[in-house]
Amino acid sequence: MAARVKILVDVQERRSGMPQLLETLGAEVEVLPLAAGDYALGDDTLVERKAVLDL
């Protein structure tokens, strides 16, 4: 059995529905305040989620 991917999610992203979707897809999700980015994967990858209106 493969290990589950752990994704750290910034608390501001809770309402987006993305944490729940990631869990449904099999990821281990931990919601906490992140100093940078909206999502962290491992020690060296941050993701900043943007909508078209943000650009």
pLDDT tens for the chain, 55 residues: list them: 678 899 999 999 999 999 999 999 999 999 999 999 999 998 899 999 998 888 8
The upper half-sphere exposure of residue 1, i.e. CA atoms within 13 Å in the direction of its Cβ, equals 4
The answer to whether residues 39 and 50 touch, using CB atoms and an 8 Å cutoff, is no
1 falls within a domain: no
Q: Residue holding tokens 């941050």?
A: 46
What six digits make up the tokens of 45?
Answer: 């990858």
Structural domain for 28, as ranges: 6-54
**pTM of the model as a whole:** 0.85
32 falls within a domain: yes
What six digits make up the tokens of 42?
Answer: 């491992």
Q: Residue holding tokens 């869990």?
A: 23
CATH number at residue 39: 3.40.50.10130
The total of other beta-carbon atoms located within 10 Å of residue 14's CB is 12
Q: How many domains does the chain have?
A: 1
